[in-house]
Amino acid sequence: LYITFADFQNYLRNQPGNSTSINLIICTVDYLLRLQESIMDFYWHYSSKEVVDEAGKQNFLKALSVCSQVFNTITETIQGPCVGNQMALANSRLWDAINGFFFLFAHMMDKLSKNHTQLELLREFLSLQKDMIVLMLSMLEGNVLNGPIGKQMVDTLVESQQNVQIILKFFDMFLKLKDLTTSQA
């Protein structure tokens, strides 16, 4: 019996031979959405405070670490590509979670970049953002031009346009600072 990685990926979505199949892909997205909502609660708690205190930083770091693992796990379930899992994700609440994370990334970058004591936490948000972008790119792997996943992704980006613009301004500023610090005086 020859079993491929794709067989294991598909098994996460559908367990043939079992009386009940549990779509672990969708369960994982539901968990990601709960994590995003929890981090959003942390954000609202600290949004009016000058800095995130040490206890808050530790809570954020733990939550971001788990989120990173979840993003990476979801990415592994679709790479190859595994079209069945991509379509399951495309029709899930993944896009809601991504919209929420775009909000968090934009507003936390803005908040954390204003105080040098917050740079460690800022780096972790940037790392998590990278994991999310890799997931989004993996969703496009093997898809046709103008396919449903690409359209859903564009809709998500349009819906998050204000937050994406904040993120892009932050990166533009970062690149300009890098140019300033590396140019010959």
For residue range 31-40, list pLDDT tens digits in order.
Answer: 999 999 999 9
pLDDT band at 182 (very low <50, low <70, confident <90, very high): confident
Type and span of the H or E element at 131: helix 119-140
- Which ranges in 18-93 belong to alpha helices (H)? 24-46, 54-78, 83-90
Checking 80-83 for CB contacts under 8 A at 24+ apart, the result is 80/5, 80/6, 80/9, 80/141, 80/142, 81/138, 81/141, 81/142, 81/143, 82/6, 82/9, 82/10, 83/142
Listed range (50-59, 92-101, 172-181) with the worst mean pLDDT: 172-181
